[in-house]
């Protein structure tokens, strides 16, 4: 099993209410973000690739444009612009590109990151007695 990771950067602003940072967090402020998208699988015998990274790059570019130089509070379907919601938002818009296993979003200037793994499939661990 292999896992490929491709990243992109974007600059964006947001404001967050109700944090322990108080007024500093509630004011509109900006960050440099780095998003990493990981794909897991086995290389195709013909191409030797888990995935054509060009296809992944196209999907990532669409999402980057939706977030780059934006006020994240105004991005539809994002919700409160936390690292948690940004990573979920990116996952949901890129998952069609292939076997996306995770999306991590980093705010390096704050030494923070969050990883979203997508919906977890429930496993049937029940033992049935006849």
Q: Is 31 annotated as a binding residue?
A: yes
Q: With residue 36 as reference, give the H or E element that holds it.
A: strand 29-41
Among 102, 82, 103, which Cα is nearest to 12's?
82
Pairing of strands 2-14, 70-71: parallel
Q: Is 96 annotated as a binding residue?
A: no
The Cα–Cα gap between 113 and 87 comes to: 9
Listed in sequence order, the residues at least 6 apart from 16 whose beta carbon sits closer than 8 Å to its beta carbon are 25, 26, 80, 81, 82
Q: Which residues line the annotated binding site?
A: 14, 29, 31
Q: Which residues line the annotated binding site for Zn(2+)?
A: 14, 29, 31
């Amino acid at each position: 099993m292999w896992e490929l990771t491709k990243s992109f950067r974007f600059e964006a602003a947001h404001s967050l209410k109700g944090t322990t940072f108080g007024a500093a967090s509630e004011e509109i402020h900006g960050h440099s973000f780095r998003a990493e998208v990981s794909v897991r699988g086995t290389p195709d015998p013909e191409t030797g690739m888990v995935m054509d990274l060009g296809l992944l790059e196209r999907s990532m570019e669409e999402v980057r444009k939706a977030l780059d130089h934006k006020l994240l509070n105004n991005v539809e379907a994002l919700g409160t612009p936390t690292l948690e919601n940004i990573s979920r938002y990116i996952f949901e818009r890129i998952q069609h590109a292939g076997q996306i296993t995770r999306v991590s979003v980093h705010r390096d200037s704050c030494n923070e990151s969050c990883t979203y793994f997508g919906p977890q499939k429930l496993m049937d661990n029940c033992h049935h007695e006849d």
